[in-house]
A and B are shown apart, each in its own frame.
Chain A
Amino acid sequence: MNTLHAVLVLLLAVAVAALVRRGRDTPGLRLAKLRPRAPSRPGTHRAHVAHAARPPDAPLPSFEFNLPTIPNLAAKLRDRYIAARFPAMFGGGSALANPANVVRVARLYFEEGKADRAQELLGLASKQAPGEATIRLAQLELAFLARDATRYLACAKDFREALPDRLEWADITRLGFALTPEEPLFAGARDTRAHAHAHYGPWPDTPNWIQASWDLTSDVLAADFHAAAMAQSTEEAA
């Protein structure tokens, strides 16, 4: 009986110790323990500096990350990055698998004046599914609407490389020509009508790859709701 008690007490002590140790670790620390140990020698985080070859006034050579990728941990960290960057909209990488939803959320970010975040979201989704034209087209349209010629050109080149035979290429060159007429990639669109692309969203001459609504009813309803809510607020305050 005494032996049984002793065994039970020992098991209880081990369980308590395990719980205490688990409680002490924050999720960050637990993740940190999975990561490789800190290298504390020069040259790990940066390019090696060729001391002898450097002129005395030259700046240090630019660094290049050469960080190890640990597949499972990288996926977890990427999920957590996505959840933190797009809070309440996406919980992780798997949520980016729905292109229609990604485009919708990107459009909403863009409408809120968060064009960078919209492009980052589309960029992440595009990396995850490189063959998905919907995402790439939305990226192009948002770059066009922001009049961001550099980004538009980069996205157009990527599109051409990844999806060379798409019919949308005619529209892409037409919009691209409007942004950067001197760019040889868009030279095929020289004879398109001037200013046919000067509008945001659902106009006959813009492709509406971002799936903006053609219907103005929701705008009318929003104004109506605003007026009613403000009337109630004024009433309450009185």
Chain B
Amino acid sequence: MKRDAAFAFVPITLVDEAGIRGRISAIDLPCANVAAATQGFFTVADEFAAAKVRLRAVLIETSLEWMEEEKRCAAFVHGCCDDLARIGFRIAQSGIATWGIEEPRVLRLIARTLQFMGDTVKWEMAVTPGASQDLAKTHRLMRQALEAAQHRHPMAMQCDGLTWQATIEGLYFRALLLGWYASGALNCKQIEIIDSWIWTMMPSLSGVVVPPPGAAFRADLDSHDGLRRGPRQSAGPSLYLPQAPLIADHQKILAEFQAGRIVPHAGTASRLRIEEHVHVLAMVRRNLRESMREPVPRAQRTRCDRSCEMLVGLAEVRAWRGIAARAPLVASLMAAGDSRGSRATLPSVMDQVYERNPRIVAITDESANGFGLEADEESCNSLAQGDLVALIAVDGATGSLARVVRRVPARTAGRVTLGLSRLAPLATNLHLVREVAGRGPEPVLMPFVPGADASGRHDGFLVDEDMFRQLGVVTATLGDRHYQLRLNRVRERGRGWVLAGFEVISAQSRG
């Protein structure tokens, strides 16, 4: 949803941004007094944390698309988290040198710094996605705590107005897990949900130094990288995060949702739509399950440099064949009255009467599973994860159906990078007829999506959810036979569309 232009320039004045920035800059100055710098850091960090709770509610809970004001606001949050993480790290190093790591102030400083490092990773997705994450300082703090056996020292931490029991080790893994999930496949709301669950899973975020039996994440303590899977092949210190406790926690969270309770039951994430939670639950489950299997090599990507037209949404996909063959207006309107029924052909007629602005996108890479695209931000403004798209070749003859799984701003201003998951080749629109009580036969136009093999068991139709629920039995006439079909399953689903499987109930010869 696009926010009305009249509201575009209403500034978000919930917090004193300039004041907070100034106070952060002040503690960034070279400071000989470590105690004063530490105290200054905690004061500003508390002030900023309180401001962040207010801003987070505005930025995360909105159902509206972000305008410039929100983007600037998110950049402010990200910038402050990044600055505080950097300054916290510097003061922590001074603190360790002056007082030793066992000093409670130093441990708290490390914990707060790791928290800001995690927040930076989280907000990076919204502000500068694709920025390479350098986690060397995160690893260094963990290594220092580990060497002094202080990594499991429990302390109370505040996040989103809630208090949690945490450890340096838990906060370290939180930052790494957020980096793992913040790759663009989840939006800001969903990352917020993941984060809120990570806080509840804090007791399970406990690493071991030798590869455990079963699946585990790996953090290389002497690297700049995020989490990896499998045992380390090269020499060097690593920590392994076993996944069995995470799977158990996931089951606990799932059970809460099944019983009608949102986890956690307070905070920003608890006020988000349940569909977002269900999406994240499924994503985490898929992720954990994949880790139990042998690693599957990523589908080979091929660099491309070609353009194609992109259709967005079910209505455009449905009208596709009509667009390909343009015809004079009179002929189109006459054709609309043919035996197939005027309602079925109306979209294609309208497309021929009104010139459309084709949405041209550049395919940057392609694999057996999907596509990477780059496009104008303006033409893809309304696109979001879960949307249905069709890529039509320049000759207009062939098309591929796909769903949007990733949408992040490109490095070039005004452009967006899209990740699409391939669904099927776009075959044809089939004209079907359904019997409606009291109204007789009614034509229905549905894009047919063939399965990968000729058995027909994996074929489907693209419909909207209402149609899926209400369609009942439909008849298709192909060649010399009438087929009676019934949609009976949901294969894939996204915003405003369902890829429905069907069963063929009967087939009869014509006449």
Indicate whether A77 reaches chain B with its CB closer than 8 angstroms: yes
Indicate whether B430 reaches chain A with its CB closer than 8 angstroms: yes
Indicate whether B299 reaches chain A with its CB closer than 8 angstroms: no
**Contact status A35-B161, CB under 8 Å:** no
Indicate whether B203 reaches chain A with its CB closer than 8 angstroms: yes
Question: SS class of chain A's interface: helix, strand, loop or mixed?
Answer: helix
Q: Which residues of B contact A190 (CB under 8 A)?
A: none
Give, as a whole number of angstroms, the nearest-CB distance from B265 to chain A. 5
Q: Which residues of B contact A81 (CB under 8 A)?
A: 257-258, 260, 274, 277-278
**Contact status B278-A228, CB under 8 Å:** no
**Contact status B427-A46, CB under 8 Å:** no
Distance between Cα atoms of A223 and B149 in the complex (Å): 65
Indicate whether B170 reaches chain A with its CB closer than 8 angstroms: yes
**Contact status B203-A232, CB under 8 Å:** no
**Contact status A68-B454, CB under 8 Å:** no
Q: Which residues of B contact A63 (CB under 8 A)?
A: 200-203, 249
Indicate whether A98 reaches chain B with its CB closer than 8 angstroms: no
Q: Which residues of A contact B153 (CB under 8 A)?
A: 56
Question: SS class of chain B's interface: helix, strand, loop or mixed?
Answer: mixed
**Contact status B165-A221, CB under 8 Å:** no
Q: Which residues of A contact B83 (CB under 8 A)?
A: none
Interface residues of B (CB under 8 A from A): 61, 63, 149-150, 152-154, 156, 158, 161-167, 170, 199-204, 206, 245, 249, 252, 254, 256-267, 270-275, 277-278, 285, 289, 321, 397-398, 427-428, 430, 448, 450-451, 454-457, 459, 465, 468-469, 476, 478-479, 481, 483, 485, 488-491, 493, 498, 500-501, 503-507
**Contact status A35-B270, CB under 8 Å:** yes
Q: Which residues of A contact B166 (CB under 8 A)?
A: 60
Indicate whether A193 reaches chain B with its CB closer than 8 angstroms: no
Could you give 21 example pairs across A and B, Cβ below 8 Å? A29-B61, A29-B271, A38-B161, A40-B158, A40-B163, A44-B163, A59-B203, A60-B152, A65-B261, A73-B260, A78-B260, A84-B275, A88-B490, A88-B493, A88-B498, A109-B489, A112-B501, A228-B478, A228-B483, A233-B428, A233-B448
Q: Which residues of A contact B483 (CB under 8 A)?
A: 221, 225, 228
Distance between Cα atoms of A66 and B264 in the complex (Å): 10
**Contact status A68-B265, CB under 8 Å:** yes
List the B residue with the shortest CB-CB distance to A76. B260
4 more contacts with CB within 8 A, not counting A45-B200, A49-B165, are A61-B203, A105-B489, A112-B501, A230-B427
